[in-house]
Amino acid sequence: MDKLYMVILLLTIIPILICIKYARKVKSDVADSITRCLFFVTITIIGNIVFAFSQYQLVAYFMESVYLFFFDLVLIYILQYSQQYTRVFNEVSAFRIGCFIVAYLDGISLLLNTFFHHVFTLKKVSYIGIQMHCISSKTIFYDLHYVFVYCLMFCVIASFLTKIMRISSFYRTKYIPIFVVLCVIMALNIACNVSGFPLDLSLPFYVFAAILICYLTLYRAPRELIEKTLSFVVTKMNNAVAAINGGGFHDPNGTGTGRLPYGFILHDGEYVIGKDVGPDEDVDFVGFSKSGNLIAGNYDKTQLSDMKAMEGITFGPPLIVDGKKMITEGDGGWGVGPRTAIGQKKDGTVLFLVIDGRQPGYSIGATLRDVQDILFEKGCYIAANLDGGSSSTLYLNGKVVNKPADLLGERMIPTAFIVK
């Protein structure tokens, strides 16, 4: 039984190491937190195995201290990851610094316990005929350690729960699976601690957490955002009243669906698609800053971060910048067709413009210069072109109010700008 449990725990390390390998390929603060967290999880698992089954009491004391200390670090990086991923309490950096200080002080105390036994003492017990070390007595320092641990657990749960309650049901699938697995892990850890069982039964569940976190945070392309019609997306958004289609997409099979968005999608300050786009790679960007200002132009991720961009997609070209028309000769080079565009006046008013086309007798469409001139006449000081053609769709008060050019009706789209 002891060998079986050891094998199970050691096998959980393999997928965790694989997740670490792939997380390191993503250059972001969130990926860095995940990498550090999973590294400390690996040490925590090894510490718990050696502690329970060691033949030498001194080694058992040391490895239990390692397990407890690195579990502190695991929770701190889970907390840091949760704040970065959910963007809840993410600005409270002083709190995280304080957590690290407390954790390292706790770690020093735990490691000294190997020699002075001022935190806990050990004894050998038999479980199902297997000799294992377990904690015999605890002092106030041990209780303070777990007060700190449970406070960190509470903060992690609070971050995810706050995010889940704040956002619409449309986006909750990004957060609920991770939230549930973390709750299971923490519940099992608490149960083992209260019961005095020497093995942390929550550790095998870290493999599920590692896979879920890496997939949902770093690699998942949200299909519900790229394989649905605009009206479906808006219907699923809480209190959404209007929307237009956003960026373009790759369509290698000619199916006319928005399966593979161009560039990246920025939502709530995080790149939900396009994390592999380099920080210095320029793209045509259309989106909004944290203060609600429209951004339109050719920028890289570093510049967008400096501009505090929060929402946006890859598309263009910009039509009006700083009150000046960008197209001064010709018609813009895209011909006549259905058009979608977005603009903003100096007072902050945002304008959606959708022009139907490719329907002789009703509307043939417009050129980019036509779109630019209309938005300029309406007072826009900044404006950008969005995906046109059969994707051009305007949704208002519960229904599509234009006539999309696609013969099959409303097209599936990759992105949208939505008014709530």
Predicted pLDDT at 7:
73
What percent of the chain has a predicted confidence (pLDDT) above 70?
86
Query: Quick one: pLDDT band at residue 367, thresholds 50, 70, 90?
Result: very high
- The pLDDT score that the predictor gives to residue 165 is 84
Question: 315: closest CA among 354, 356, 262?
Answer: 262
Q: What is the mean pLDDT of residues 2-10?
A: 65
What value, to the nearest 5°, has the Cα angle with vertex 185 and ends 179 and 188? 135
What residue spans of 87-218 are helical by DSSP H? 93-116, 140-166, 176-195, 206-214
Q: Give the per-residue pLDDT at 279.
A: 73
One-letter amino acid for residue 402 of the chain: N
pLDDT at 225: 47
Domains and CATH numbers, the chain: 2-219 (1.20.1070), 225-419 (no CATH)
Rg (CA), the chain: 27
Rounded mean pLDDT of the chain?
85
Confidence of residue 227 (pLDDT cuts 50, 70, 90): very low
Cα separation of the two ends of the chain: 57
| pTM for the structure as a whole | 0.62
Please compute the mean of the pLDDT values over residues 267-296 and round it to a whole number.
85
17-31, 113-127, 325-339: least confidently modelled range: 17-31
What gap in Å lies between CA 388 and CA 207, rounded to an integer?
Answer: 44
CA atoms within 13 A on the CB side of 237: 22
Handedness of CA 217, 219, 221, 222 (dihedral sign): negative
In this structure, are residues 410 and 400 in contact, taking their beta carbons and an 8 Å threshold? yes
pLDDT given at position 217 = 79
Between these two residues, 63 and 233, which has the higher pLDDT value?
A: 63
The token pair at 210 is 């590692």
Residue written as tokens 């904690």? 135
239 has a pLDDT exceeding 70:
no
> According to the model, what pLDDT value does residue 71 have?
92
| Best mean pLDDT range from 130-144, 216-230, 366-380 | 366-380
The tokens for 315 are 């598309």
Query: How high is the pLDDT of residue 233?
Result: 64
Q: Which helix (H) or strand (E) holds 322?
A: none
130 versus 295: the higher-pLDDT residue is 295
Looking at residue 236, what is its pLDDT? 63
Give the pLDDT mean for 306-319: 94
Cβ atoms of residues 207 and 137 within 8 Å: no
Q: Bigger pLDDT: 180 or 12? A: 180
Q: φ and ψ at 134, to 5 degrees?
A: -145, 165
- As a whole number, mean pLDDT of residues 343-367 equals 95
CA distance 161 to 157: 6
* 36 alpha-carbon distance from chain centroid: 17
**Quick check: 271 pLDDT over 90?**
no
* 188: nearest Cα among 209, 173, 172: 209
The Cα diameter of the chain in Å comes to 90
pLDDT tens for each residue of 54-104 = 889 999 999 999 999 999 999 999 998 888 777 777 666 788 889 999 999
